[in-house]
Amino acid sequence: MTCLVQRVTTPDDALKDKHWIDRGDIVDVLDPTTGTFVKQIGVVPNSPRPQRKFGEVFQNSERNTKRVLKDLAGLSEEELAELKRRA
């Protein structure tokens, strides 16, 4: 029996991988938190109709969670701070 072993690809490796680059899977997106462009792996598999507009980045999950808990669940800043402290 033959066993093939290959090193696990790290995110940094993936961003430099010729195959991913040639397929157009590596995209530059604007990070709304820092205002800088960062490289990230786009939506895979590629589709002729992209799910997101060029330059969009997934929002920071902590910011979205805070917005949901505050705006939709009605938690106060103090309650949010207590939840974060206990996490």
Looking at the structure of the chain, the number of domains it has is: 2
Residue 4 lies in a domain: no
Instruction: Give the structural domain span for 14.
Output: 9-56
Question: In this predicted structure, what is the pLDDT of residue 77?
Answer: 92
Same domain, yes or no, for 13 and 28? yes
Do 47 and 13 reside in the same domain of the chain?
A: yes
9-24 mean pLDDT? 86
* Confidence at residue 44, expressed as pLDDT on a 0 to 100 scale: 63
DSSP state of 72: I
Instruction: Count other Cβ atoms within 10 Å, centred on residue 15.
Output: 16
Q: What is the 3-state secondary structure (H, E, C) of 29-63?
A: EEECCCCEEEEEECCCCCCCCCCCCCCCCCCCHHH
- 2 band by pLDDT with thresholds 50, 70 and 90: low
Say yes or no: 63 and 51 in one domain. Answer: no
| Higher per-residue pLDDT: 8 or 14 | 14
- Residues 27-80 have pLDDT tens digits of 888 888 888 998 888 776 665 555 556 555 555 566 778 888 888 889 999 998
Q: Which residues of 18-57 are buried (b: 16+ CB within 10 A; e: fewer)?
A: eebeeeebbbebeeeeeeeeeebebeeeeeeeeeeeeeeb
Is residue 64 located within the same domain as residue 44? Answer: no
